[in-house]
Chains A and B, each alone.
Chain A
Amino acid sequence: MSDGTFQPRIVAFFCNWCTYTAADLAGISRMSYAANVRVVRLMCSGRLDPQFVVAALRQGADGVLIGGCHPGDCHYQVGNHKALRRFTLLKRLLGQLGIEDERVRLEWIAASEGDKVQRVINEMVAQVRALGPLGLTAIPRPHGEAAAVPPCCAE
């Protein structure tokens, strides 16, 4: 990984039942893919709080991938519909803040689609690599004692 090319860091939020299982299947099937994605397991894509996405971006992620069950296949009936609503609005907000479209991605990946995990991750890593580091404006800190910054951003 240290050959000088930019290695983006991508945080993925995968639902337990479909996409996480698909990622396991990709493993069982030995489908090699880019090592830049680190998976955080949630029970459902409906658990994805948009705050997780911005927290990941603020803490150094160059991209965020969200994976859930295909519409109609949600283990919890309709959690993925809620994920889609939140994601849709979040993407527009992120666009206003200059976050490129390719950096935050939602994919429906069923438990049997190990190959899709491989394809989506390779594709996204290549796209984000082409964009370069995220480069958010640093949050200013006062001189002197530290003021209240959100604990998730404290180092």
Chain B
Amino acid sequence: MATLGPNQGDAVRIGVYICHCGINIAGKVDVADVTQFAASLPGVVVARDYKFMCSDPGQELIQQDIREHGLNRIVVASCSPLMHEATFRRAAAEGGINPFFFQMANIREHVSWVTADKAAATEKSRALVAAAVSRVGGHEALERQRVAVKPDVLVVGGGIAGIHAALTLADSGKTVYLVEREPTIGGHMAKFDKTFPTLDCAACILTPKMSLVRQHPNITLWTYAEVADVSGYVGNFSVTVRRKPRYVIEDRCVGCNACVEACVFKEGKFADEFNYGLAKRKPVYMPFPQATPSVVLIDPATCLHFKTGKCKQACKAACERDAIDFDQRDELVEIEVGAIVVATGFQPFDAERVPEYGYGQYPGVYTSLEVERLVNASGPTGGEITLRDGRVPKAVGIIHCVGSRDHATNKYCSRVCCMYSLKLAHLVKERTGAEIYNFYIDMRTPGKGYEEFYDKLLEEGVHFIRGRAAEVTDWTMTPDEEGKLVIRAEDTLIGAVRRIPVDMVVLSVGLEAQADAGEVRRLFNISCSHEGWFLERHPKLAPVSTFTDGVFLAGACQGPKDIPDTVAQAGAAAAEAMALIDKGYVELEPNTAFIDEERCSGCKTCIAMCPYSAISFIADARVARVNEALCKGCGTCVAACPSAAAQQHLFTDDQIFDEIAGVLSYV
């Protein structure tokens, strides 16, 4: 224990610092006892406990001890190294020793916060401190490698989050690649009529930004495209983008729609995705009038040419610019970027998963997004709120929390449904004068102007029934229910079950992670929460960062949020990416592998281990060698090396054996 590293001449002099973290640690761990124990360990010169080691005075304590006691190794027992390792390495460096002569013991996340018994927590803390002390003696002085950062940024997803992030970055002078898998940018926001609580017209505030994206000289916009592969690391990502064929040459198309008019289908015949099937489109179509880019596309699943090969190709003939190209193929584009903003958004909850509400069964049952299209002036009904049978509803029920706050589907609150339900209630009432019934569990209206909006709705005479709706049925009991849908719900405020006959039911569906979030997460090497939302590095202090440096999150892909929060987060992600790029370099963690060529027998076991091809066989010397610029520091080659010739900085065999010995040295 506490042996010297091979490149160290002086004796090991360790300082150990036990952090109270206020009462976060000290409330569960007897810090005085652990400090006393640490002082008794071999090599330890100073052991102290302090209220907040990460504070300035805490760090100063370390630096003062380095000066006064000639310390050359530092151990801090506090929170997770993922939280404050960088802080204390910096403190050690500022105190005058190599920052890697430092080891952290995690006695907060791994001890005080997870241990019920105080004596057990103290004992476990002792063991972790002993391990850190045992290991730190063998630490070597290391230097961080600096690597230049590529100046361009990839933004994935062209909803409001991606749009805002891309524009912010582009305005700062960065070259941005914005990749969107749908044929147009705009995301869900482009489908909304108004936004809460101000009732701004969504198109009025969004479409100018969409055009800006299209026109911005610093933005390369690829719609109908997907990221196919990502490799590299922070500051140096290589990205392959697959541009799917839209069978229209984007540069030639001016969006005149002549091809759409000329199509052999005289009327729209196929469900229009943008309008959730409430309208029909042709095989060649513009997703919606303000689609950006303003370029049509051809759907090969419905186009006669692709289905039968026997179409007269009227569209092609109608195009004056010869933009139709039936031979387009997938195109792979390679780009190099320094940072990535993932803004892949959400998907609405599938209302058919709650069969008791009758979605898909009764034509009068709609999802909230369908109603967004119905109330939209550019929607399938031109903003007329008519039912599928053409009637104007006289009574409308809005059921909240469909797919949210429900143990059968999603436990979480989707955050936006109360507010958009109020918005829809207002709009529907305004346009139709119908009686509106909201069925809610709790009204959740935190946000600027939100509660005031709720108050306004109460004054407008919208009905609020507190209770989760039990079912929607066409089984009628009284004459006034005839021809209606009946919502059955317990009104918990009056303590009775009520039956409310309505013409239209709106299901306020929650937000879910995209169905392919798992694949996307693997692509970018980031993590997901249980629900599939991308995991931020820290819920409070690094909310747009991920565990993969250089990959940032914006918008609802990280969790349900409304437009103001999405835009704020997109700005934050853009700022983080800018900070990374403007710094110009990254310092890599020096935990790379290396090979002691004296010990290497040239058995090549390590070479195939490396997923990054960082190890090569040197024919002259007949040994293997690691290219440290390519090595990412997993240590798999080290575990495989039968000669102990391959080692990993910060995780050498000896350091880990010392840590094992230390963690077990104390009973």
- A residues near B (Cβ < 8 Å) are 1-2, 9, 11, 16-18, 20-21, 23-24, 26-28, 30-33, 35, 38-44, 46-52, 55-56, 59-61, 72-73, 75-79, 82, 86, 110-113, 118, 151-152
Task: Tell me which residues across on chain A come within 8 A of B530, comparing CB atoms.
Answer: 112-113
| Most chain A CB atoms below 10 A, which of B116, B657, B660, B663 | B660
Residue A1 contacts which of B113, B123, B131 (CB distance < 8 angstroms)?
B123
Task: Tell me which residues across on chain A come within 8 A of B633, comparing CB atoms.
Answer: 43
A35 in contact with B111 given A42-B635, A47-B648, A112-B535 (CB within 8 Å): yes
Check if A1 sits within 8 Å of B639, measured CB to CB: no
A30 in contact with B640 given A52-B660, A110-B527 (CB within 8 Å): no
Q: Does B638 contact A (CB under 8 A)?
A: yes
A27 in contact with B527 given A1-B123, A39-B110 (CB within 8 Å): no
Distance, CA A46 to CA B635, complexed state (A):
7
Distance, CA A35 to CA B124, complexed state (A):
7
Task: Tell me which residues across on chain B come within 8 A of A76, comparing CB atoms.
Answer: 611, 632, 634, 636
Task: Tell me which residues across on chain B come within 8 A of A59, comparing CB atoms.
Answer: 660-661, 664-665
Check if B656 sits within 8 Å of A40, measured CB to CB: yes
A28-B539, A56-B664 are known contacts; what are 18 more A-B pairs with Cβ within 8 Å? A9-B667, A16-B82, A17-B527, A18-B527, A24-B109, A26-B114, A35-B124, A38-B128, A40-B663, A43-B591, A46-B609, A47-B636, A47-B648, A49-B656, A52-B660, A76-B636, A82-B639, A82-B640
Residue of A nearest to B650 (CB): A43
Residue-wise interface mask of B (26-57) relative to A, using a CB-CB cutoff of 8 A (1 in contact, 0 not): 00000000000000000000000000000000
Residue of A nearest to B637 (CB): A46
Residue B634 contacts which of A1, A75, A151 (CB distance < 8 angstroms)?
A75
Check if A23 sits within 8 Å of B110, measured CB to CB: yes
Residue-wise interface mask of B (542-571) relative to A, using a CB-CB cutoff of 8 A (1 in contact, 0 not): 000001100000000000000000000000
Q: Does B81 contact A (CB under 8 A)?
A: yes
Q: How far is the CB of B78 from chain A (nearest CB, A)?
A: 12
Task: Tell me which residues across on chain A come within 8 A of B636, comparing CB atoms.
Answer: 44, 46-47, 76, 79, 82
Check if B128 sits within 8 Å of A44, measured CB to CB: no
Q: Does B119 contact A (CB under 8 A)?
A: yes
Q: How far is the CB of A118 from chain B (nearest CB, A)?
A: 8
Distance, CA A69 to CA B30, complexed state (A):
34
Distance, CA A14 to CA B408, complexed state (A):
33
A43 in contact with B651 given A23-B109, A35-B123, A60-B664 (CB within 8 Å): yes
Q: How far is the CB of B524 from chain A (nearest CB, A)?
A: 11
Check if A35 sits within 8 Å of B106, measured CB to CB: no
Check if A73 sits within 8 Å of B522, measured CB to CB: yes
Residue A46 contacts which of B109, B121, B128, B639 (CB distance < 8 angstroms)?
B639
Which residues 43-101 of B sit at the A interface, judged by CB distance below 8 A?
Answer: 80-83
A35 in contact with B525 given A23-B110, A82-B639, A152-B657 (CB within 8 Å): no
Check if B657 sits within 8 Å of A40, measured CB to CB: no
A31 in contact with B525 given A9-B664, A38-B128, A55-B657 (CB within 8 Å): no
Q: Does B191 contact A (CB under 8 A)?
A: no
Residue of B nearest to A86 (CB): B639
Distance, CA A113 to CA B530, complexed state (A):
7
Residue of B nearest to A27 (CB): B109
Which residues 376-424 of B sit at the A interface, judged by CB distance below 8 A?
Answer: none
Residue A24 contacts which of B82, B121, B609 (CB distance < 8 angstroms)?
B82
Q: Does B117 contact A (CB under 8 A)?
A: yes
Q: How far is the CB of B491 from chain A (nearest CB, A)?
A: 36
Q: How far is the CB of B129 from chain A (nearest CB, A)?
A: 11
Task: Tell me which residues across on chain B come within 8 A of A49, comparing CB atoms.
Answer: 638-639, 653, 656
Distance, CA A48 to CA B638, complexed state (A):
9
Q: Does B659 contact A (CB under 8 A)?
A: yes
Distance, CA A112 to CA B548, complexed state (A):
15
Distance, CA A125 to CA B222, complexed state (A):
53
A46 in contact with B634 given A1-B120, A38-B127, A86-B639 (CB within 8 Å): yes
Which residues 571-586 of B sit at the A interface, judged by CB distance below 8 A?
Answer: none
Q: How far is the CB of B134 from chain A (nearest CB, A)?
A: 11
Residue-wise interface mask of B (344-386) relative to A, using a CB-CB cutoff of 8 A (1 in contact, 0 not): 0000000000000000000000000000000000000000000
